[in-house]
Amino acid sequence: MKYKLNGKIAVVTGGSQGIGRAIAIRLAELGSKVIITYLSNHIEANKTIEEINNKYQTESKALQLDVRDYKSVEEAFNQILKDYGTIDVLINNAAVSAERALAINSLDNWDDILSTNIMGTINCIKAVSLHMLMEKKGSITNISSIAGIKGIPKLSSYSASKAGIIGLTRSLSKEFASYNVRINVVAPGYISDTRMFNQIEEKDLLEYKKQIDLNRFGQPEEIAKAVCFICSDDASYITGHTLVVDGGLSI
């Protein structure tokens, strides 16, 4: 299905690998010009951009960006607006996680996860919001997780950050709705080939798989398809919604 994304200017944070890479590639496939951001892995970021440009002959590019630093985010987004004239779609995907029990998880690690996952999302929304609100158009999709709905043992900091993203989205959707700016959440379940998935012990993964109705883990491309629907004009009457894509795990 070709969702209404052709010609859109889309920004995907954390787009160098995993779910972010799959989202960027899917957006390009559907006709969007894509700008991905990455923190440090320029090799993987360049691979993503090369794949997009080779397949779809678009104007995609990668920007190094620390979403925790609002000044840097603001400068990067202003440059995108200068270069492209608009930002139609923002996907807040950049995130970090750590599988650690609360008793041994340092406060510094908590700070890093909350600063990246919550404040990073807020920084990007704030940097683009005035433009979207003035233009009275735009779509923002925040990537949460079933960890923010169901909770996962030894991922309390990650779960807290992802639950916060859902609450943030519900509040901002009410602020933005009268300006025709939509903001939603996609909450993936256990998705193979992602950083969080790779941090979970094998014995735990086997137990989690038994709880999934579809009896398998998801693929990044399946999350990308859900994201591209909800951020497209085909979802024009959806805002403040959390779209759970987890194979039935959280039901």
Active-site annotation holder among 3, 38, 56, 158: 158
Residue 184 three-state SS:
strand
Averaged over successive runs of 10 residues, the pLDDT of the chain (251 residues) comes to 84 97 97 96 95 90 97 98 97 86 74 95 98 98 95 86 97 98 97 81 87 96 98 97 96 83
158 flagged as catalytic: yes
Residues 6+ apart with CB under 8 A from 248: 212, 213, 214
Determine the structural domain holding residue 208 and report its residue range. 9-245
Residue 98's pLDDT is 73
Distance CA 118, CA 97 (A): 12
Burial of 218 (0-12, 13-18, 19+ CB in 10 A): buried
pTM, rounded to two decimals: 0.95
Cβ(190)–Cβ(212) below 8 Å = yes
Query: How far from 155 is each of 14, 124, 235, CA to CA, in Å?
Result: 20, 24, 32
Helix-strand-coil percent breakdown of the chain, rounded to 5?
50, 15, 35
Domain for residue 61, yes or no?
yes
**Which tens digits make up the pLDDT trace of 152-192?**
788 889 999 999 999 999 999 999 999 999 999 999 999 99
Domain count for the chain: 1
**What is the model's pLDDT at position 130?**
97
**Domain assignment of residue 2, yes or no:** no
Asked if the structure places residue 234 within a domain, the reply is yes
Has residue 180 been placed in a domain?
yes
What CATH number is attached to the domain comprising 163?
A: 3.40.50.720
State the Cα–Cα distance between residues 186 and 180, nearest whole angstrom: 19
